[in-house]
Amino acid sequence: MGYSACGGTSSAGERARTVESPGERIRQIRGEQGLSLSELSRLSGVSKGYLSQIERLPDTRPSATTLFALARALGTSIGALLEDGEVDAEQEDVQRVPASLREFAEDAALPPADVQMLASIHYRGEAPQTKEDWRFLYESIRRSVNR
């Protein structure tokens, strides 16, 4: 379920073009699916209060783990939640995807949105250096979301 602005004249596609923040996109997709904040909270494991903050305050910057959980609960990708605003800016970073991440992404057949998510993480210490490091990080995020 993508929210691409190309092609047809669906109202969802038109609305996606005017939505600015990930929170607005989350609220839009949640509404289209008829989910309440409580239901999305239960499905994603993200607290109702934090969901409300993400949706209402455009400056709220949810973590990659939170976005992964929300995207999964909504049946979409992280890229769909970030499109229009952040992905366009981050697309410049695609050229900066480390070779070891590219190798891991190819081996694991990761969707482009997940590769971008991994590449855009800011590390306090040393960034992953090997395919195995990237696999460990990716699996850690997936497991923390799947609890």
CATH number (domain holding residue 40): 1.10.260.40
Domain that residue 41 falls in = 11-76
Q: Average the pLDDT over each of 55-59, 95-99, 116-120, 140-144 and give the range with the smallest value.
A: 95-99
Torsion of CA 6, 11, 14, 15, to 10 degrees: -130
Do 17 and 72 fall into the same domain?
Answer: yes
Q: How far is CA 13 from CA 21, 33, 91, 131, in A?
A: 15, 15, 20, 36
Summarised one tens digit per residue, pLDDT across range 99-116 is 888 889 889 988 877 888
pLDDT tens for each residue of 35-73:
999 999 998 999 999 999 999 998 888 888 888 889 888
**Environment class of residue 49 by beta-carbon count within 10 Å: exposed (0-12), middle (13-18) or buried (19+)?**
exposed
143 pLDDT tier (thresholds 50, 70, 90)? confident
* Domain annotation covers residue 136: yes
98 with 139, same domain: the answer is: yes
Q: Is 118 helix (H, G, I), strand (E, B) or coil?
A: helix
pLDDT of 97 reads: 78
Residue whose C-alpha is closest to residue 135's, from 103, 99, 112, 113: 103
Looking at the structure, tell me whether residues 15 and 65 fall in a common domain.
yes
Domain final position from 51, 76, 101? 76
CB 40, CB 53: distance < 8 Å: no
User: Which residue type is seen at 139?
Assistant: E
The total of structural domains in the chain comes to 2
Same domain, 58 and 93: no
pLDDT score of 87 more than 60:
no
